[in-house]
Structure formats: structure tokens, C-alpha cells
Chains A and B, each alone.
Chain A
Amino acid sequence: MLTYFEFIQEYFPALLKGTVVTLEQTALGILVAVLVAVTMASMKMAPFFAIRWFGIAYIEVFRGTSLLVQMYWIFFVLPLFGITLEKFTAGFLAVGLNLGAYGAELVRGGIQAVPRGQYEAAVALGFSPFTRMRRIIFPQALLKMLPPWGNLLIELLKATALVALISVTDLMFMSKQINSTTFMSAQAFGTALIIYYIIARLIVTPGMRGLENRLARKLSIG
């Protein structure tokens, strides 16, 4: 039986490789989630019923059903309709599309939390709807929505563990492999837990807080 120190020495390279893949899945998942969130929030607030309906339907479907089932759909079912994706792509896409639905509600909430007077002042000054959103409303909304986005991104990081189930070689996948060859379950999954925690606490949370501080300084609201 290996000591934990020897275990780490032996499997460090494999775990590191998995961690890198997890970070890649997280980063790309965030990118998709942000794009989806902004798009769907805009659609849900659009003046046209059909567009609004699409935004509402998207958010309902992706929030209301299981991420794992969505991922299986993207990876196993879409090929039946002629759309075949790499497992790596299917992984972060599923995570991003799912968490983006939650993000859309955060975006919408942030925008609606900007006081009505800000809209009216911008209207009175003749801003077009797009410029009004870009220059006046969104910067203020962004500051309001960053703290809940910090939570969401930690959820997203943890949700990427599911991509191991379609054989993306992430941290979870590597831990499972090590477990099945060594049967050192506590060490394998314990190390994975610690690494997820470290990424969340030492990268995601401080990153979001830094972003928040920088934005608050730049926007000088406080």
C-alpha cells in the first residue's frame, strides 16, 4: 500500500492533466454561459412576443431539466440528427448552455434593478435603445449582478465534473481511472475534492472579487 505522499508522487502528472482539462472546460463553459445569458435575457425582455417566448422557453427547458440528460442529448442524440460533436465540445457546451439559463435570470434581474429614472433620463436625452443599454443601463446592471455570478461560476466549475461521464478526460475522469487501477478511493476522490475546492476558492472567488472591485472603482459607485 502506498502512503498518501507516494500516491501523490505517482499520480500527480495524471491529476494535473485532468485539472488542466477541467480548467479548460470551465473557461469555455463560462464563455458559453455568458453569451447564452446575455442573449436569452435580451430575448426575454424583447418587445416582440415571438422573441420573448423563445427566451422564456429556452430558460424553462434548460433550467427545468437535468444537466446530465442535456449532455447525453447533445452527445448521443444530436448525432442521430446529423450533428456530431467532439466529446470535449459537447462537454463544455452542455455545461455552458445549462448554466447560461440560470445566468440569463441574473442578467435580467440586474438590468431590472437599475432604477427607472436612469431609463427616463436616457430617453429624455435622446439615446437610442441600444446606446442606452450599452452606455447607461448595462454598466450599472453589471455591478449589481457580479456577486450572484460569482456563485454561479462556482456551480459551473463543479458541474463540469459531469463531463467525465462522456469520457472527457477531466479531473473527475482521471480520479475515476486512478481509483479503478489502485482501489485507493479515499485518496483518489479526496484529492479531487481538494483540487475542486482550491480552484473555487483560490481562482474563481478571488477573480470575481477582483473584477467587482475593479469595476466598482471604474464606475465609481460606492
Chain B
Amino acid sequence: MEEQHFPLSLEGDDVPMVRFMGVTKRYGDLTVLDALDLDVADNETIAIIGPSGSGKTTVLRMLMVLETIDEGIIYVDGKPLTHMEKNGRLVRASSSYIRRMRSNIGMVFQQFNLFPHMTALENCMEAPVQVLGMSRDEARQRAGDLLEMVGLEDKMDQYPARLSGGQQQRVAIARALAMRPKIMLFDEVTSALDPELVGEVTNVIRKLTDEHSLTMIMVTHQMGFAREISDRICFFYEGKIAEQGPPDQLFDNPHNERTAAFLSAVNEAD
């Protein structure tokens, strides 16, 4: 098998939290990710920007293993995610191995995807109880703390249908954090929100970068927000990183003409 030349695990002093090596994803004839290499360091916040169809969201979905991988390999915290070791070789990961590795990663979706039949509190308790086997009391305590952190201590017993989009998205962030992930993925988390509700969600994310040691990868269309909180910006074009760098450099002085064209189109739209 082709995956054999990839290392069984990553060793050394500067093992990245996330490493994509030659990751390719195709849907039929369409190549969504084209031999992508990407490292994200521990505690780093990166923003992925680019035109729609450039593979931005696919990066997050591959990392959450919501999509299968066609070529290449992904490592999380030095260990393979999409593959596992068997008799000294890498083979496709089993579903239980993937489930174990996934527990390092939390994800927040564009459409919130809260469980409609559970209150805000129950949404945040469900996975710790069912997946981690935590006691209900402990899970309630943790869920309550997190909902307080996102500013929803007075909405704990509300069902999602009774919450605004911004409130739902904050519950979704708390729900993902309740699993204590090392990596948080934000997939266009403000795109489905009314403009006046965007701020309450970005404030929570800002707070996370300030107060928690998390590795964060966000796909976003909000250039100002990306610039403000990211350590690095990756501009995607046709399934590849066309350009990446510190926010100031990439926004003020893009080297790649596609980046420049994209940024000026976005600026005009604003």
C-alpha cells in the first residue's frame, strides 16, 4: 500500500498538533483537496480563507473524519488519525480507533446542529455522560460552568427552538468544549447568523483564544475577525494553500496575485 512511506508517528521536539501530509480528496472528477500539506502548532490559531469551492470546509471535515481520505495522511498530536499501526505498518484506521482519536477534536458547525430535543444544559451534558462515562452531577457542573463562560447561565433550561441563532451557536461552542478537546474547529460559525448576532459569537471565540490553551482552526468569511485573532492566515485556492503567513503580511502585502484579487473582491463587497 502507498501509505507505507509515511512515519508511524511523529517524534521530536516540535511535533505539530495537526499535520496534513499530501492529503487529497476527490468527489468523482472533482479534486477538492490537492496533495495538501499543512501544519498547525500546539496552541496556534489559524484562519482559513478563500473563495467558495476552494476546499476550506473540507479541511475541517477531513480532520473530524466526516470524510474519507483518498491519498495522504493526517496526524493529530503526533499520532496518525486516518491510519493506524498494525504489525509495524500503517493501515486504514478502524472506526473505534478513529472515535478515540476524534476525542481530541471539537467542532462547531455553520448550522449549529444542536440536539432539538434537549435543553441547552442537556446538549452540553449528553456526550460527557454517554461517551466519557462521566456522572450526571459532574457533567451538569461542567456544562453549567461552560454555559456561564459563554454567557448563557440564564438559558440553561431552554430548548434550542427558544434560543436565537447567536445563543444556539454559543451553546454549540460550550457543547464541543465539554469534551475537553485539544483542537477546536470552527466551520463558518457566523455565516448563518443575522449581522447583529455575529458579535456575541466572535466574542466567545476571542475569549477562548485569550484564556484557553487550544489549537484552533477556523474557516471564515470575516476578514477583520480572522486578522484580529489568528496567528496565521491560510489562503486556499483550488484545493491548495496558495499563500499563508501572519495576518498583517497576508492582508496588507499579499505576494500571490490570487490572494490579492480575492482580498480586493472581498473589500469591495464590504
Mark A residues whose CB is within 8 Å of B: 115, 117-118, 120-121, 123-128, 131, 135-136, 139-140, 218-222
B130 x A131 contact (CB < 8 A):
yes
> Which 6 A-B residue pairings sit nearest by Cβ, starting from the closest?
A219-B117, A121-B113, A125-B127, A117-B113, A220-B159, A124-B107
Interface segment among B18-26, B74-82, B98-106, B135-143: the answer is: B98-106
Q: How far is the CA of A86 from the CA of B105 in the complex (A)?
A: 57
Q: Known contacts A126-B103, A220-B161; can you find 19 more A-B pairs with CB under 8 A?
A: A117-B111, A120-B113, A121-B113, A121-B114, A124-B64, A124-B107, A124-B109, A125-B179, A126-B102, A127-B130, A128-B131, A131-B130, A135-B130, A140-B116, A218-B117, A220-B117, A220-B119, A221-B116, A221-B161
B131 x A131 contact (CB < 8 A):
yes
Q: How far is the CA of A152 from the CA of B112 in the complex (A)?
A: 35
Q: How far is the CA of A221 from the CA of B117 in the complex (A)?
A: 6
Given contacts A126-B131, A136-B115, A140-B117, contact A222 B179 (CB under 8 A): no
Distance in Å: Cβ of A44 to nearest Cβ of chain B: 21
Report whether over half of chain A's contact residues are helix, strand or loop; otherwise say mixed.
helix
Q: How far is the CA of A127 from the CA of B233 in the complex (A)?
A: 32
Q: How far is the CA of A118 from the CA of B66 in the complex (A)?
A: 12
Task: Digitize B150-174: 1 where CB-to-A-CB distance is under 8 Å, 0 elsewhere.
Answer: 0000000001010000000000000
Q: How far is the CA of A128 from the CA of B99 in the complex (A)?
A: 8
Q: What residues of A have a CB within 8 angstroms of the CB of B65 in the complex?
A: 123
Q: How far is the CA of A15 from the CA of B115 in the complex (A)?
A: 49
B99 x A121 contact (CB < 8 A):
no
Q: How far is the CA of A17 from the CA of B182 in the complex (A)?
A: 67
Distance in Å: Cβ of A146 to nearest Cβ of chain B: 14
Report whether over half of chain B's contact residues are helix, strand or loop; otherwise say mixed.
loop
Interface residues of B in 84-126 (CB under 8 A from A): 99, 102-103, 105-107, 109, 111, 113-117, 119, 126
Distance in Å: Cβ of A42 to nearest Cβ of chain B: 17
Tell me the count of chain B residues lying within 8 A, CB to CB, of chain A.
26
A125 x B116 contact (CB < 8 A):
no
A123 x B127 contact (CB < 8 A):
no
A127 x B176 contact (CB < 8 A):
no
Distance in Å: Cβ of A123 to nearest Cβ of chain B: 6
A sample of 5 inter-chain contacts (CB < 8 A) reads A121-B109, A124-B106, A126-B131, A136-B126, A221-B159
B107 x A127 contact (CB < 8 A):
no
Q: How far is the CA of A220 from the CA of B158 in the complex (A)?
A: 10
Q: What residues of B have a CB within 8 angstroms of the CB of A139 in the complex?
A: 117
Interface: B232 (CB within 8 A): no
Q: How far is the CA of A131 from the CA of B131 in the complex (A)?
A: 9
B178 closest partner in A (C-beta) = A125
Distance in Å: Cβ of A131 to nearest Cβ of chain B: 5
B161 x A123 contact (CB < 8 A):
no
Interface: B83 (CB within 8 A): no
Q: How far is the CA of A126 from the CA of B103 in the complex (A)?
A: 6
Interface: B175 (CB within 8 A): yes
Q: What residues of A have a CB within 8 angstroms of the CB of B111 in the complex?
A: 117
Q: How far is the CA of A127 from the CA of B109 in the complex (A)?
A: 17
Q: How far is the CA of A2 from the CA of B239 in the complex (A)?
A: 87
Which of these, B115, B159, B179, contacts A126 with CB under 8 Å?
B179
B114 closest partner in A (C-beta) = A121
Q: What residues of A have a CB within 8 angstroms of the CB of B175 in the complex?
A: 125
Q: What residues of B have a CB within 8 angstroms of the CB of A136 in the complex?
A: 115, 126
Q: How far is the CA of A222 from the CA of B161 in the complex (A)?
A: 7
Task: Digitize B228-241: 1 where CB-to-A-CB distance is under 8 Å, 0 elsewhere.
Answer: 00000000000000
B131 x A127 contact (CB < 8 A):
yes
Task: Identify which of A123, A124, A140 gathers the most chain B CB atoms within 10 Å of its CB.
Answer: A124
Q: How far is the CA of A98 from the CA of B234 in the complex (A)?
A: 58
Q: How far is the CA of A139 from the CA of B179 in the complex (A)?
A: 23
Q: How far is the CA of A140 from the CA of B118 in the complex (A)?
A: 11
Q: What residues of A have a CB within 8 angstroms of the CB of B107 in the complex?
A: 124
